[in-house]
Structure 1
């Protein structure tokens, strides 16, 4: 899965999940994604909108790092992100607890409520 495919999948998840997570309208958060051997992008959630940009953000709330196949499984719903974190397939630095909000959005977007 390429970076563009991951970003497109996250956009679809956001479109479906944001309706089910009304508090997202109050979020002002940036999550950095590092896909080993592929590249980096970050997701900005602000004023009820999501923006995905290539590169590195200067001050993300948390950074999520994983191999491409692990991130693909998380984004597709094959692998729970909490399980990936607990088994060290997903590394999170920064505000680990705040990534629960991101998990809630992803789970809602995937229809796992």
Structure 2
């Protein structure tokens, strides 16, 4: 299993269906140094798919280390965005809910 896939697998294990209750969204993760993945959230479920989605709700671009640091709580996502470590396109406000949907 790739390191990137392992990060997304751990996120799926922490998925909080209550937080994502009415959400329908596609989070595209474009990783500079690893395979791209997207997470589809709908009907209180989350599915991980390798590759790119044609119509993501929000696209987050970063390197794998940044993703790992944000999802482990070592780095605040908003701080990473402000430092230019994360680039976002689309519904940027939605990306601020990632840590609620995938709590530590």
Fold conserved (TM > 0.5)? Answer: yes
CA distances 1:46-98 after superposition (whole Å, capped 9, x unpaired): 00000000000000011011111111101111111111001111111111112
What is the rounded CA distance, in whole Å, between the counterparts of 1:98 and 1:75 in structure 2? Answer: 16
Preserved contact between residue 28 and residue 46 of structure 1 (Cα < 8 Å): yes
TM-score (norm 1): 0.83
Structure 1 outlier segments of 4+, above 3 Å: none
Question: How many corresponding residue pairs?
Answer: 103
TM-score (norm 2): 0.90
1:63 aligns with 2:64: no
CA RMSD for the aligned pairs? Answer: 1.4
Question: SS state of the match for residue 55, structure 2?
Answer: coil
Alignment correspondent of 1:74? 70
Return the offset for 1:25: 1.9
Q: 1:20-39 alignment to 2 at 5 Å?
A: 21=19, 24-39=20-35
Alignment correspondent of 1:10? 11
The structure 2 residue matched to 1:85, chosen from 64, 81, 97, is: 81
What is the rounded CA distance, in whole Å, between the counterparts of 2:70 and 2:14 in structure 1? Answer: 11
Gaps of 5+ in 1: none
Alignment correspondent of 1:99? 95
